[in-house]
Amino acid sequence: METVVVGVDNSDASTRAVEFAVERARHNDWKVVLVHVVPWSPYSFQTASENEHRHREKERELAAATEQVLVPMARIAEDGGVPHSEVVRHGKPSDTITDVARETGAVHVIVGRTGDGGLREAVFGSVASRLVQHAHLPVTVVP
């Protein structure tokens, strides 16, 4: 059984990407790995006080992302009857999605065209754009 990674966030485009992946997974006997990345850089500048609380805050962010993003997306896969798993991590979204694809032996990445990245992504480029340019495997961008 081949694996396909689907990058997800809290956007309508992400929901469409999961629906697209689930439909194809049913026909192609794929396992779907849903990946949500909480943007974070280990190189960000923080005060000593912030560093003391960062671990707890990261754990809270992961739990919130699981509940608010991954659980609803996993329901789509469950309703579609396809095997799936969920991954939530901190990092740079495009790099982390690629890392998970490599770790799981995925043969394909699927993402929505627009996500909830906001102005920063509009100025510096989208996750989908970075994946298309730098991923080591095929990437499908769902409008």
Distance CA 130, CA 35 (A): 16
**pLDDT tens track for 44-101:** 656 666 666 777 888 888 899 999 999 999 999 999 999 999 999 988 999 999 999 9
> Quick one: pLDDT band at residue 35, thresholds 50, 70, 90?
very high
Confidence class for position 114, pLDDT limits 50, 70, 90: confident
Q: What CATH number corresponds to the domain at position 55? A: 3.40.50.620
Q: Is 32 helix (H, G, I), strand (E, B) or coil?
A: strand
Domain of 108, in residue numbers: 2-142
For 21-36, what is the mean pLDDT?
97
Please give the structure tokens belonging to residue 54: 């960062």
Tell me which of 134 and 109 has the higher pLDDT: 109
3-state DSSP assignment of residue 52: helix
Write the DSSP symbol of residue 66.
Answer: I
Task: List the alpha helices (DSSP H) in the chain.
Answer: 12-28, 48-65, 71-80, 93-104, 118-124, 127-134
Q: What is the count of structural domains for the chain?
A: 1
Handedness of CA 18, 20, 26, 31 (dihedral sign): negative
> Percent of the chain scored above 70 by pLDDT?
84
| Coil vs helix vs strand at 69 | helix
